[in-house]
Structure 1
Amino acid sequence: MTPKDPVARPRPWRRRVLLGAWLTAAAIICVRAVQIQVVQSQQWRAVAEAQHRRDEEIVAARGSVLDRDGTPLAVSRERFSVGIAPNELINVEAARSLLSDALGISSLLATQLTSPERRWSVVPGRYPPAVRQQLNGVRGIHVTRELQRYHPLGDLSDGVLGLVRDNTGSGGVEQAFQELLSGHPGQVVVARDNVGREIPGERILVEPPRPGGEVVLTLDMDLQEIALEALKEAIERTEARGGDVLITDPHTGEVLAFVSILDGRFASLSAINTPFEPGSTLKPFTVAGLLKHDIIALDDTIDVADGDWTFAGRTITRHHQGRMTVADALRVSSNVGIAQAAQPMTRAQQYENLRDFGFGGLTGIEIPGEVRGTLRRPDLWTGQSPASLAIGYEVSVTSLQMAMAYGALANGGRLMQPRLVREIRNSDGTVLERFEPRVIRQVISPRVASSVSRVLEDVVEDGTGKSARLGSFRVAGKSGTSRLYSADVGYEAGAYFSSFVGYFPAEAPQLVVFVKLDRPEGAYYGGAVAAPVTRATMEAALAARATPLDRAALLNATRVSTTPVARPAALFASVPITAPVSSAKDMAFPVGLPTDESPRLGSVVPIPDVSGLPSRVAVRRLHALGLRVSRARPGEILGTEPAAGTHVLRGDTIRLKVRRRIDD
């Protein structure tokens, strides 16, 4: 019997096991295929599409911020960043040449950026849209769209505007109107190859982006630049740490100029977020409260004795002695006189009077960051508080609060809400909302406001505010000097706030100008260091043709004689006398000296060298010095007549020599 070969004849059970395993695997594969192709088809189709297509968000163009005349202050411009993946480049030399030509970079930099040793390179800078057309579709070169926030007029209004980071506003108007300005993003589907690279031309727009709306401010750029230059010059001259200049319309509450500088930062908002004790600039409101309640009259007399007065354990000292009227006490800024005059007021009357003028509360300006300042309730006062409050201590205010309160004195007693925004618009220019002037309350009667204003005219004419005097118009105003106080160290030795608030023309005010300097070195009295800044600002505002002033009304308010002003021959031999005012068609208001007054310090200025500047910049620079400019066409400035360096009076007219353009 021949034995069986075990290899040639496998056992039947093994065949059955192998067959069963094969059938089971086939069944699993079929079931899985059905599951993928039928049951989960949509899911796996989405996975496949996700690998080859990607949804991308298109950032909407951020809306613009404009000044009152429609001049762009903040705009978004399309820019592109360029990245390079050297290992994806097909022709390295051609790519280097293209990068050099399209981006204007050196051959050396192009070589470094495309080095095979690098996995990824970023080209420095941001480039205009034309670059995308030149580089898009080149393998290894990746162009990314970005929207860059841009201020066409530079840092002129940085603090008010705020910043933008990742299309999100931070501070100022950008933050306050984030929802309006940011718009609505769009969506696009991008096709990609098997290694994730974008396939040129395979972009499907799903939803277009909707641009943001526009915000129109009340700011006037001529006045804004005048205020900025005046503050910069004052800070440099006095070595102050910083300061504020505000210009407002007392009748509408519009903020026409808003400049704050602190430690060299133009983006400061110290005018609304850094309160200070106002000192003597608060005294007019004490007098207004006394007149409002018929407690005292301006011609009532006060006996200040030897100039010292002790009240509740505190001695108030002033150099003035003897008897004086309430009006004189305000005119010469007598601490003793004003404190004594305020004695008959009840604590409730004194508190309500200051509160009604807006102190201790928010003004309601549209930008974030405003603080209330400090005005304690009467039940928290000490025995010294009534006298201290009467002369501007034990209360802290913001620069904006002071400007609005003086606006109430200027407009007949109405406290206005400050307005920084005129209107908001849709992206197509449709007005969504227009903001009208809003009266918060009638604080005092027109009669009381007029009475206080007449005393403030005397303050400038013959009191502590002489340095704010304009030759052409009567100015009402008040200076203030206060020591710097902090909760940690109390009053800091040698540290002062110097301020001056003025409005003009005094009999029919059109502008309120507030100036504050933070810790000036050397002379620190408000009448000495802040009042001249107010005067210079007013002079420049009068000289500028485009500022929002009622020129016809100003003609009726001018007090300048048509007779020539006498000037020392040696100093002014080559300077023409300003012609008398005859019409309001063009700006022609002399802003120099009144008749019979010798030249004041600061009335004479050298003509700056503006050669090489664009005519618009040159005009603004001359206006900032209080000089008038004859009409000039656009172009590059070649020089001036009289020549740069010539000393002239503020208010004199300068002729610009402009390079003639080829297409003229």
Structure 2
Amino acid sequence: MNLKKAIILRTWIAFSFVLLLAGAVLWKGFELQLFEKDKYTAISNEQSTKWHDLKASRGNIYSEDGSLIATSVPRYEIRMDTEASGVDQDYFKAHVDSFAFKLSLAFPERSKQEWQRYITDARSRREGYLLVRRDVDFETAKDMSSWPFFNLGKYKGGFIKIEKNKREIPFGELARRTIGYVNESGVKVGIEGTFDSILTGVSGKRLEQRSYGGVWKPVKDGNEFEARNGLDIYTTIDINIQDVAEAALKTALLNNNADHGCAVLMEVKTGAIKAIANLKRTSEGVYEEAENYAVNEFSDPGSTFKLVSALALLEDKLITPEDTVDIEWGTTSFYGQKMEDAHASATRKLTFADVFEHSSNVGVAKAIVKAYKNSPEKYVDHVKSLGLNKVFDFEVRTPNKPKIKSSKDKDWYATTLPWMSIGYETQISSMQLLAVYNAIANNGVMMKPYLVKDIKEFGETIKHFDPQILNKAVCSPETVKQLKKLLEGVVDHGTATNLKGLSYTVAGKTGTAQIALSAAGYNKSSHKASFVGYFPAEDPQYTCIVVVNAPSNGIYYGGAVAGPVFKEIADKVFATNLSLHKGIVAPKNVTSVPSVKNGYRLDIKNVLDKIMISSQTLTGGAETEWVTTKKDAFSIDLKEISVKEGLVPDVSGMGLKDALFLLEKGGMKVAVEGYGEVYSQSIIPGSTIIKGNTILIRLKV
């Protein structure tokens, strides 16, 4: 009996304990629901939702005429919500076969059966963010929107399209190093690097929720902050001249089996860079834009530096062009160090003008030593007054610095002054030297070289960069006049006679320098050939420098190696710039009417006026800003284009410049294919503009 009672007691104790435990659990659950629900709900939400950055579209970079030279082309990541509200099981079964067929045609890495199984299995797993394909182009993504399922849209059909812009350079290697890049490691090069913060824009944010399988997908409650796309950069580059500069430089490098080189064309009165080519021979033997030598390479300039020495002598009135210099038949020595001219002279004495025109090392060095032997720092001051000891605040940054020795430096030797006077023991860049020659062409006014003229947003100018003067007078007007005559003499009867007798006049200086081997002196078998000059000589409009490093086919003089590149670039400029032509009388009557692109009415009218089609020949009386054009035998009719705010304009028949202006002004990003005039656009004219959306326009001649 006692045993029975003991068993019953223990049973009740165990049962009571279980009841108490169950009660405690129930109470805790009740307490959580009643008092701490909000706290744990917040924790749950925090763990299952997050804000995702929406990357802004990077701004475009344009040439002077509005041609795209760097752009972000829309590429898409396509995903599918297999549980979309508009796709029930019956609809899914009826259309999955045709959907898989479409996928297999567009993306043949999977067969139709494999695609069907992939989609069906994902639906059975209730995947709401299934990856279909990465890196899809604009046209394919557009076509996919008409496929089964996807034609129902994002929410009903599960069509998720994520834009991921890809940076492309439409003109390939042209100015590629100057355009530059920004990579994932944070390296910033060229215009892309300097203006990275402006081109990048401001990222947006979107609330996303973790779905089945740990995949994050957007929350459909409007929790999204739009990204602000980057601004556009408009450069001074003339893409047609850039093309010629690259081709001419490449030909010279190939013909002379050279290592690398550069060519830069600058507008005299403004300092605007119209073309900048940099080519380097790769290990495969091809030439590519691998380094911006015009800006980054600081080296001995050689004989082109003799202009600086001539400027110092003439400005200090320590010599005149008519004074004679004893060149000792082209060979002399300074403090036991032998100096020679490139060629022995038939005469012992030359005028200083002849010394300069025939690039006598001995003549220039002796004149400088005679003038500044007792005050070398005065000569150095002239060099520094030209800004050659400083790096320009240029849009293409360089980590390197010039080196101009001072007579107070430890490495200043007795031989430094004579060798410095002919372009050795001095490290400067091609861009610096170009600015000096440009100053002489510009009557002594030194302009800051620049590449970027405007920053724009949707076609509207946000910031404009005006030409800047670095030095109002590098020397006196009299010295400028004397230097110009010396530079003209180099072409007329000196070392650059191969540039004489062209359709335009040229003034400049050849350069040939031995390449330095660090502390080991100079390599007598390796040279740098160069030419710096301007044209037309009587009214300079453009200055150009060409440098070819390490030509190895036996010819290494500046006139022979670099001169032809200068000529080819100048020929292109002269052929396309009618203002450089003289003696051409415009015809009084026009016998045929040219074809004219659709576009801005005032621009069309100005062009017609210039080619002698008077405004009276225009019929139709259109006074709108934007017009289409239609020609007959004697006139051009203008018809109004309806351009309404908030609606996509019709840009068919327009040139790229006008089309870009209209579309970007409306707030759209523009992708471009081809060149010539617009023949198609991806968004129908008259549609409502969604700011920031990308429209593709195709052009053809």
TM class, shorter-length: 0.7 to 0.9
C-alpha distance 110-392 of structure 1, shift in aligned 2 (>3 A): farther
Determine the C-alpha separation between the residues in 1 that align with 2:111 and 2:492. 67
- Equivalent of 2:102, from 98, 101, 107? 98
* Aligned partner (choices 127, 135, 146) of residue 137 of structure 2: 127
Alpha-carbon offset, residue 22 of structure 1: 3.1
Rounded to whole Å, the distance in 1 between the matches of 2:278 and 2:223 is: 45
Do the aligned residues in 2 keep the contact of 1:191 with 1:202 (CA within 8 Å)? no
User: Which of 408, 414, 423 is the equivalent residue of 1:392?
Assistant: 423
- Give the whole-Å Cα distance in 2 for the aligned partners of 1:288 and 1:156: 36
User: AA paired with 1:224?
Assistant: Q
Corresponding letter in the other structure for 1:331: E
SS in structure 1 at match of 2:74: strand
Distance between the aligned counterparts of 1:57 and 1:635, measured in 2?
A: 35
2:448 corresponds to: 417
Q: Distance in 2 between matches of 1:633 and 1:122?
A: 36
1:270 to 280, 288, 293: 293
The 8 Å contact of residues 271 and 467 in structure 2, kept in 1 or not, is answered as no
Residues 201-216 of structure 1: pairs in structure 2 closer than 5 A:
202=220, 204-216=222-234
Code of the residue aligned with 2:179 in structure 1: it is L
Question: What's 2:572 paired with?
Answer: 540
Distance in 1 (alpha carbons) for counterparts of 2:209 and 2:70: 35
Distance 1:127 1:167, change over 3 A: farther
3-state SS of the aligned residue for 2:4? coil
Contact 2:189 2:397 in 1 (8 A): yes
Contact 2:574–2:580 under 8 Å retained in 1: no
Which residue is equivalent to 2:331? Answer: 308
Q: Is the 8 A contact 2:173 2:288 kept in 1?
A: no
After TM superposition, the structure 1 stretch with the greater mean CA deviation from structure 2, 213-222 or 128-137, is: 128-137
Of residues 329-338 and 154-163 in structure 1, the stretch that sits farther from structure 2 once superposed is 154-163
For the residue of structure 2 that corresponds to 1:190, the secondary structure is strand
- Quote the offset at 1:272 in angstroms: 0.9
Hey, what's the Cα distance between the residues in 2 that align with 1:18 and 1:237? 102
Does structure 1 retain, via aligned residues, the 8 Å contact 2:238–2:275? yes
What is the alpha-carbon distance in structure 1 between the residues aligned to residue 117 and residue 515 of structure 2? 60
C-alpha distance in 1, partners of 2:223/2:500? Answer: 64
Is the Cα contact below 8 Å between 2:208 and 2:218 reproduced in 1?
no
Distance 1:164 1:37, change over 3 A: farther
Q: Is the 8 A contact 2:104 2:115 kept in 1?
A: no
Which consecutive residues of structure 1, in runs of 5 or more, have no partner in the other structure?
Answer: 546-550, 559-583, 587-615, 617-631, 637-662
2:540 maps to which of 481, 506, 509: 509
Q: Is the 8 A contact 1:281 1:479 kept in 2?
A: yes
Answer yes or no: is the 8 Å Cα contact 1:412–1:447 preserved in 2: no
Are 1:347 and 2:376 matched, yes or no?
A: yes
CA distance in 1, matches of 2:226, 2:81: 30
The residue that corresponds to 2:668 in the other structure is: none
Give the Cα–Cα distance (whole angstroms) in 2 for the partners of residues 155 and 114 of structure 1.
43
Root-mean-square deviation over aligned CA pairs: 3.7
Q: Does the 8 A contact of 2:295 with 2:396 survive in 1?
A: no
Match of 2:20 in 1: 23
Q: Is the 8 A contact 2:76 2:134 kept in 1?
A: no
Indicate the residue corresponding to 1:525 in structure 2. 557
Which one of the candidate residues 205, 229, 233 is aligned to 2:251? 233
Structure 2 equivalent of residue 620 of structure 1: none
Counterpart of 1:657?
none
Offset at 1:457?
0.5
Choose which of 59, 65, 69 in structure 1 pairs with 2:65. Answer: 69
User: Are 1:60 and 2:86 matched, yes or no?
Assistant: no
- Per the alignment, residue 362 of structure 2 pairs with 336
Structure 1 length as normaliser, TM-score?
A: 0.76
Match of 2:318 among 269, 274, 295: 295
Residue 254 of structure 1 corresponds to 272
Q: Which residue of 2 aligns with 1:283?
A: 306
Counterpart residue identity of residue 527, structure 2: Y
Change (3 A) 1:585 1:464: farther
Letter in 1 for 2:331: D
1:34 aligns with 2:21: no
What is the deviation of 1:108?
A: 5.4
1:39/1:68 CA distance change after superposition, 3 Å: same
Give the conservation status (yes or no) of the 8 Å contact 2:264–2:545: yes
- CA–CA separation in structure 1 for the residues paired with 2:322 and 2:40: 91
SS in 2 for 1:382: coil
Indicate whether 1:498 and 2:529 are aligned.
Answer: yes
Q: Check whether the contact 2:60–2:233 (CA below 8 A) recurs between aligned residues.
A: yes
Provide the C-alpha distance between the structure 2 equivalents of 1:362 and 1:110, rounded to a whole number of angstroms: 62
Do the aligned residues in 2 keep the contact of 1:235 with 1:517 (CA within 8 Å)? yes
2:503 to 472, 492, 499: 472
Q: Which consecutive unaligned segments of at least 5 residues does structure 2 have?
A: 123-129, 282-286, 585-608, 612-654, 656-674, 680-699
* Aligned-partner residue type, residue 136 of structure 2: R
- What amino acid sits opposite 1:99 in the alignment? L
SS of 1:342's equivalent in the other structure is: helix
The residue type paired with residue 166 of structure 2 is: Q
What per-residue deviation string (whole Å, max 9, x for no partner) do you get for residues 445-504 of structure 1? 222112111111010111101122352222111110111113164323421111001101
Distance 2:278 2:209 in 1: 50
Decide whether the 8 Å contact of 1:226 with 1:541 is kept in 2. Answer: no
- For residues 640-651 of structure 1, the aligned pairs below 5 Å read none
The CA deviation at 1:386 is 0.6
Check conservation: 2:402, 2:427, Cα contact below 8 A: yes
What are the equivalent positions in structure 2 for 1:436-447 lying under 5 Å apart? 436-447=467-478
For the pair 1:222 / 2:240, whether they are aligned, the reply is yes
1:243 paired with 2:240, answer no
Determine if contact 1:84/1:113 at 8 Å carries over to the other structure.
no
* 1:81–1:127 Cα contact (<8 Å) kept: no
In structure 2, the CA distance between the partners of 1:205 and 1:32, relative to structure 1 (3 Å rule), is closer
Distance 1:37 1:281, change over 3 A: farther
TM-aligned CA distance change 1:49 to 1:269, over 3 Å:
same
Identify if the C-alpha distance between structure 1 residues 39 and 122 changes in structure 2 by more than 3 Å, giving closer, same or farther: closer
Offset of residue 279 of structure 1: 0.9
**Secondary structure of 1:252's match?**
coil
TM, length-normalised to structure 2: 0.72
